[in-house]
Structure 1
Amino acid sequence: MTVDLAAAADFLAGSARVLDRRRFDVLFGDGDPASVLAAVDAYRNPDGGFGWGLEPDLRSRTSQPGGALHAFEALADIAPATSDRARELCDWLDGVSLPDGGLPFALPVPDPAASAPFWASADGRESSLQITAIVAATAHRVAAGDRAVAEHPWLARATGYCLAAVEDIGPQPQAMMLAFAAQLLDAASARFPRAAELVEAIRPHVPADGRLHVTGGADDEYMRPLDFAPLPGGPARTLFSDSVVASDLERLADGQQPDGGWAVDFASYSPAATLEWRGARTVGALVVLRANGVL
């Protein structure tokens, strides 16, 4: 497996938004956390949430759970530095959570231009395990080095909702929901022992090779082992053999394109999103590869 970091930097320079260039710089160069925070702040609203296309296929100005996910990704990247923005984001999430502790897939979108239909038409009155799990999983990554997030009541409520939903996950869970639930169980297991135990609840639904087609997605859009367990050492890794994980790491490393970036396997809903997703995916791929000792 060979990854060309210089080529990735060149790709980001020509094709990525400032946020992802700053993330790359703090992770793999000599960048500083303040620059990442300044870049992500451009997407922040006065209510403490994030919108404005931080989720590339949700172009709405409004603060959204999808925006919170990507804000937490940036906040995780700056560790061990912390920011009050993380606590403020938890405050916002606490305010928009539903009574059962879950987040709606999306809040009402009054300005749906260039947004994916599944975001624009989401039911804001119903909790979504898919979005709650991935937002909370990423928040747990931030919480590992930020006591204000670790002790925030929103994170405990959201985690409790997810654990209960996984326990009652049903006979045919959708691939993306299942993968994000696995990430939540992995990320929460250090502080919530029940999370590690609940890996057994999803094991029957995960094939040995870790490939699950995304219903309604592109023909070649799959959840794969690293979508379930991107980081080593957690209980979700027990879903797969070492050889399956090694093969998926090789696939990910080999996914670097001739232009230095990584591609996505799903359709985007605007020209801006098409470019922005590649930049975000490139940084995300490098984060996973480094965490697994490939870089």
Structure 2
Amino acid sequence: MNQTIVERAKSFIYNHGRLLDRRRFEYFFEGGSKEAVISALQAYQNHDGGFGNALEPDIRCPHSQPVATEVALLVMDEMGCFDRDIIRGIVCYLKKITVSTGGFPIALRELNEYPHAPWWTVKSDPLANINPTGQIMGLLLKQNEVTDFYEEEWFQQTLQYLWDYVDREEPSGYHDGVQWISFLEHAPDRQRAEAILATKVDKWLSRQDTIERNPAAKGYVHKVLDWASSRECYAAKFISEEEFKQHLSHLVEQQQEDGGWPMSWQEVSLGAALEWRGGITVERLKTLKSYGVL
């Protein structure tokens, strides 16, 4: 059965997935190389150093966007391979889009001119947002290929923006929470970060309404295996073995007849939906492998 799951998923990914996700599948399941994944990722990087070109499939804009740049960092992180040239380009881009208070906007106006999901529409001047600032900064702090920008004014301002934010606010929602966790796991002041994790994040994750515990819950919800796609994820300690067992069983059952896994939100277009599903399918296989199901 386990081999059948992988073979069906492989068929879907090779029929419908992007080159990037085919390369990711090859790396995790067929002995492919990190270099091939990074090469596919580079095609999404623009001359300004940022990433666009629908790397985030709900934003069809070719121009660089903060969230697409965050996705690029996440891909390099999953490979354990932060490419020096890509990072230098990202640093140049982030320096340009840092707002005066420090921090990065969630999206820029250029995307309004292209197809995009309605929740990405930019209606006002860009303001700093914890999403995607927290995760971008967390991953920049995690990587050690390029570190000479850590003392630059834009980076220090953004670091201060994040400290001020987590001191002042409380986590709220999945997309907000992962930003908190990524930043605080890699923040340089470990004593301060651990204190905020313990007093704010852990308390919030312990609430029954933060992590969706029902494996059959419908709609745009974030379940146990979204929060803890592997046992190494921070949120895993708030999930019981029985809950993991239930959600892993349900995840296997969710594989569609075409071999891929479904989206849980409104699609922008058929093409965008297939791009999303290819990436999601690789993620689901990685999770099943991580927990020993595959």
Q: Taking structure 1 as the reference length, what is the TM-score of the superposition?
A: 0.81
Task: Give unmatched runs, 5+ long, in structure 2.
Answer: none
Aligned residue number for residue 165 of structure 1: 165
Aligned residue number for residue 114 of structure 2: 113
Inter-partner Cα distance in structure 2 for 1:150 and 1:290: 37
Give the alignment of 1:1-295 within 5 angstroms: 2=2, 4-80=5-81, 82-109=83-110, 112-121=113-122, 123-139=124-140, 143=143, 146-148=144-146, 152=150, 158=158, 160-170=160-170, 173-185=172-184, 187-188=185-186, 192-199=190-197, 200-206=199-205, 207-208=207-208, 210-211=210-211, 220-233=219-232, 235-295=234-294
Inter-partner Cα distance in structure 2 for 1:128 and 1:24: 32
Residue identity in the other structure for 2:259: G
Residue 228 (structure 1) shift: 3.2
With 274-283 and 218-227 compared, the bigger mean Cα shift is at: 218-227
Asked whether the 8 Å contact 1:176–1:223 carries over to 2, the reply is no
Q: What secondary structure, in the 3-state scheme, does the structure 1 residue paired with 2:110 have?
A: coil
Residue 190 (structure 1) shift: 8.7
Q: CA RMSD in A?
A: 3.3
Q: What secondary structure, in the 3-state scheme, does the structure 1 residue paired with 2:109 have?
A: coil
Residues 120 and 6 of structure 1: CA distance in aligned 2, closer, same or farther (over 3 Å) = same
Inter-partner Cα distance in structure 2 for 1:223 and 1:258: 23
Q: Equivalent pairs: percent with the same residue? A: 27
Inter-partner Cα distance in structure 2 for 1:173 and 1:26: 34
Residue identity in the other structure for 1:195: A
Residue identity in the other structure for 2:279: A
Task: Give unmatched runs, 5+ long, in structure 1.
Answer: none
Inter-partner Cα distance in structure 1 for 2:183 and 2:8: 32
Q: Taking structure 2 as the reference length, what is the TM-score of the superposition?
A: 0.81
Inter-partner Cα distance in structure 1 for 2:147 and 2:47: 19
Aligned length: 286
Residue 73 (structure 1) shift: 2.6
